[in-house]
Structure 1
Amino acid sequence: MSSPPEGILTGKDWETIDFNRNWTFANGWKPAKSFQKSSPAKRSNWTLWPKFPSIPAKPDKLRPTAYLDGLRGFAALLVYLHHHNLWVHDEGDTKGAFENGFGYDGKYYLGAFPGIRHLFTGGHFAVSTFFVISGYVLALTPLTHIHSGDHVKLNDNIASAFFRRWLRLFMPLIATVTAFIVMLHALGLWVRPAKLQGSLRDELWLFYVEFKNFSFVFKEGGVPWLTFNRHLWSIPIEFKGSIVVYTSLIAFSRCTRNARLWCQIGLIYYFMYIADGWYCALFVAGMLLCDLDLLAKRGELPRFLQRLEPAKDFIYYHLLVFSLLLGGVPSATREVEQMAKSRGWYYMSYLKPQAVYDYKWFYLFWAAVWLVAAIPRIPWLKRFFETRICQYLGRTSFGLYLIHGPVLWTLGDRLYVACGWHTAEHRDNIPHWANKLPLPRRGPFGLEISYIVPQIFLIAVTYGLAELVTRGIDTPSVKFASWFYRRALGAPTAGRVKA
């Protein structure tokens, strides 16, 4: 059986628009039409255990935001590759080789070359893109109601989305981290990044103490991650960014078109150049891009943008190139002086605002915004993200994000050690795994045989588990949040909100 054809950005959880109202675009500033090909009939039934691999048939009709779903899925894959590459290669003489610029310290690795480096260390660029996409999609339906002047539906929509947001983000996290902790104690597994407590009860208590602070939206100070899944540091930021989007939409809902656009630009400037709120700037930028796309659909773009339309191809192809260049900002440390030593980044280092503490997010802000703006207006690139494989990656992206760290820490670490990638810490704690299947380190840096061979197995296992998490944890969490909100509304008003 195949899983439902809808993706994470097109499911009901995101409260997207009913696009049956002739959402079609002509040439110009409006996004290109979705690429359509004949496909098998939709498959509606599915089972908990996935076929391996499971890539469902492409739906008969793609939604206009399907490319965002594919982009998010591809970005999640870059996060996976980023963590695996640094896990293996960021040791000893090669430490920092990927995250510094091409040619830094006399090292000219292909994996650090501009553009190509995203396939090796594109994780931070991907996370920035996640936040822009989230800002876009969260604002899509509310902005539609704002444009139509329907403030009753606007309030209903934001109330529903805000009520469900915490549950939708944190319930899958709780389930996967708890399962990981129980597995470690049941099997007595050693993992490099974390030290186990004396008992499962103590471990679960420690997780509770960490989580209640980790998930508190007004938390100040402390470490920004969880002991047993450090890769999930972005989940609280997703929730904070959602609050920024929802409150901004309410605040700007009765403004004129120009006032609303200027207020969004003002917020972006404030978060990036005055306060260190880089992630808020990314969410608001996504909201602004959504607003402009909806205005383009209605033929109501500001006049100065309409005047630039003859040069749109020139503009968006250049935005794509600049996005790929800035997205590869050297970021081995938070010291901008080190970035300035990288080839081609000396003068760029002077652009960093005083307010931004971790400089990479300033450059990644522009990279992610330009990428999301350019893709729908470059037809061949939009079609790529609408392909079946990208749609599959998008549908399982949250499951992948939740599970790839535990797989890397357990199975991945042991396979790499068996193939020859081990340290003194490994030899002390899991000596029986060292060099069980030694493979040569021949090949380009980052594509060695001893890295690629275990990766073939790991990526299949990780995506299989991501599919399982998507079906068994993520989707039920979405449904539970919707059910809970309907119950909270009560029977008389339960039908007012589409959940």
Structure 2
Amino acid sequence: MQRIHWLDGLRGIAAFIVAFNHFFCGELQTPFRSFWAEPPEQNRRVIQLPPFRLLWALDAMVPLFMVVSGYTISHALLKFRDSNAGLFPDRLRSSIFRRPIRLFLPALFLTSCTQLLLYFGVYEDWLEKRLATHIKPCQSPWTHVRYLFDYVMDMMNILQLQWNNDFNGHLWTMPLELRGSYIVYFTIFVQAAWRPHARLWCLGLMFTYLLWYGEWDSFSFIAGLGLAEIHISPRNTVVKAHWTAFYVLRSAIALYLICLSAEDGYPPDYSFLSKFETPHWQLYDTWINVRRVWHAIGAVLFFSVALESPRLQRLLTTRVPQELGRLSFPIYLLHLPMYHMWSWFLRSHIWLLLWRRDYPSPEEEGRNMGPLVTVYILAGSILGGVVIILAELYNRFLDPQFGRLTRSIEMWLLQKDHRE
């Protein structure tokens, strides 16, 4: 199936925001607080207001990725279902089989390499101390092997999520990605012979049910599937943006929800949203999941707007978003280990070189915002360049090998008549 290039650009921008924010999200606090947060002297900055907060919308990018994934895997399969009904079961079977291998082979390679680097003490001291109760550099290789095995098993557990974030913490999305993909595949399989209206009604009920219980990840995938069903429908006429009140309202709400800040509760300018929660959102989970539900709603609304906006789609097919999209998966895989190994080293040495004094504590952030921004720009430019180079090498040399290995495994397992 032909690639949808503007989706690559959207995925690339989202990957950039994630990598950009991970570089300083544990250090600088101001961008991640609300404009109305206390104390006033450390806030009330323009960068804390929408739409500028889009640059710091790290948490909202995860459900956006999931909506894009739900739409992408659905769009290709649904078009194949409608044009090649006889071959559709084989195509669906192949997709179900390949998905976990394509997700977890790169992740297994990354975790193995980073575990080896951790053994040789390449990581920064703070991470080594956090893992000290389990493993220590240059001690007991077998302990490292056992830890790696436990970590990989946790990462692949889609039935009972383990949330093992001590090491390569950004890979917590992998089991959610696989679980959401399988929900989409199962739904497409069950609905394959249904009438179009029955499919949409069922997806609407699933969408509402998942939203009621705050299952933000599955909700995002099903929303992507629903939008794909609507978009490929022969009766679909919503193909370009019309500046109606509904379109503008969706755009504004999407922007507003995506910009919900990463604080421990609703900020003052979002507090009214608590009235729209269902009883289940905080009954079983914590505030962070409530925030993700709102981010997921914002991501779905934003994606629905993008589907109707040729101008935005053209913007996403320009060179920079497309290059970021081409490298989005390896950027996502590789950026955090690079930061954990070299971020503090670079920032502390650049600070000492420029300002000739000790690095400021988090309490002194407000008084040193200008120098800190300078240091982060310089260090981020260096490490960002390294991540881009490594991502390019990954795409050239590793990704084709993973693709061929996946295909070889599938062909080895298939019976002869299916190969033919």
For the pair 1:328 / 2:263, whether they are aligned, the reply is no
Which shifted more, 163-172 or 366-375? 366-375
Q: Cα gap change, 1:187/1:292 in structure 2, threshold over 3 Å: closer, same or farther?
A: same
Choose which of 365, 368, 376 in structure 1 pairs with 2:299.
368
2:152 aligned partner: 211
Match of 2:48 in 1: 112
The offset of 1:129, in angstroms, is: 0.8
- Determine which of 459, 462, 473 is the counterpart of 2:387: 462
Write out per-residue CA displacement over residues 124-145 of structure 1, whole angstroms, 9 at most, x where no aligned residue: 1111110001000111122124
Matched, 1:132 2:71: no
Q: Distance in 1 between matches of 2:57 and 2:191?
A: 34
* Deviation at residue 404 of structure 1 after TM alignment: 0.6
Residue 109 of structure 1: CA displacement? Answer: 2.5
Q: TM-score, normalised by structure 1?
A: 0.74
- 1:353 Cα deviation (Å)? 2.2
Deviation at 1:471, TM superposition (A): 2.8
CA RMSD after TM alignment: 2.5
Residue 110 of structure 2, aligned match among 165, 176, 186 = 176
Question: Which residue does the alignment assign to 2:215?
Answer: 277
Residue 411 (structure 2) pairs with residue 486 (structure 1)? yes
The residue number in structure 2 matching 1:59 is: none
Distance 1:265 1:102 in 2: 36
Name the amino acid aligned to 1:290: A
CA separation in 1, counterparts of 2:368 and 2:52?
Answer: 16
Q: Is the 8 A contact 1:214 1:226 kept in 2?
A: no
Contact kept? 1:191, 1:409, Cα under 8 Å:
no
Matches of residues 90-489 of structure 1 in structure 2 within 5 Å? Answer: 90=29, 97-105=30-38, 106=40, 107-119=43-55, 121-148=56-83, 150-194=84-128, 195=131, 196-197=135-136, 198-220=139-161, 222=162, 224-273=163-212, 275-295=213-233, 298=234, 300-301=235-236, 311=242, 313-333=244-264, 338-339=265-266, 342-356=267-281, 357=285, 358-420=289-351, 435=352, 438=355, 448-489=373-414
The 3 A distance-change label for structure 1 pair 193 and 320 is farther
Q: Are the equivalent residues in 2 in contact too, given 1:175–1:473 (CA < 8 A)?
A: no
Choose 71-80 or 476-485, whichever is displaced more: 476-485
**C-alpha separation in 1, matches of 2:80 and 2:392:** 34
Cα distance 1:370–1:318, how it changes in 2: closer, same or farther (>3 A)? same
Distance (Å, rounded) in 2 between the aligned partners of 1:235 and 1:449: 34
Instruction: Extract unaligned runs of 5+ from structure 1.
Output: 1-16, 20-62, 91-96, 421-434
Question: Which ranges of structure 2 fall in alignment gaps of 5 or more residues?
Answer: 358-364
Q: How big is the shift at 1:278?
A: 1.2
For residues 330 and 203 of structure 1, what CA distance do their matches in structure 2 show?
37
Question: Per-residue deviation at 1:236?
Answer: 0.8
Tell me: CA distance 1:179–1:309, structure 2 relative to 1, closer, same or farther (3 Å). Answer: closer
For each residue in 1:94-136, what CA deviation from the matched residue of structure 2 results, as whole angstroms up to 9, or x when unmatched?
A: xxx33332121122123321221121x2111111110001000
* Closer/same/farther in 2, CA of residues 170 and 437 from structure 1, 3 Å limit: farther
Name whichever of 486-495 and 77-86 sits farther off: 486-495
CA deviation digits over 1:415-442, x for unaligned, max 9?
122234xxxxxxxxxxxxxx35547988
1:325-354 Cα deviation digits (max 9, x unpaired): 110112322xxxx31xx2421212211222
* Paired residues of 1:144 and 1:294 also in contact (CA < 8 A): yes
Write the distance in 2 (CA, Å) between the matches of 1:261 and 1:78.
33
Deviation at 1:321? 2.6
Calculate percent identity across the aligned residue pairs: 23
Give the counterpart letter for 2:33 in structure 1: N
Matches of 1:353 and 1:458 in 2, distance apart? 43
User: CA distance change for structure 1 residues 445 and 155 in 2, over 3 Å: closer, same or farther?
Assistant: farther
CA distance in 2: counterparts of 1:477 and 1:204, whole angstroms: 23
Cα separation, 1, equivalents of 2:10 and 2:115: 31
Query: Normalized against structure 2, the TM-score is what?
Result: 0.87
Equivalent residue for 2:8?
69
Q: Per-residue deviation at 1:461?
A: 1.0
Distance 1:469 1:205 in 2: 27
* Amino acid in structure 2 at the alignment position of 1:204: V
Q: Return the letter of the residue paired with 1:377.
A: E
Task: State the alpha-carbon separation in 2 of the partners of residues 204 and 485 from structure 1.
Answer: 28
The correspondence of residues 75-86 of structure 1 with structure 2, limited to 5 A, is 75-86=14-25
Q: Structure 1 or 2: larger helix share? A: 2
Provide the C-alpha distance between the structure 2 equivalents of 1:397 and 1:343, rounded to a whole number of angstroms: 34
Specify which structure has the bigger relative contact order, considering alpha-carbon pairs within 8 angstroms and separated by 6 or more residues: 2
Change (3 A) 1:451 1:263: same
SS in 1 for 2:32: coil
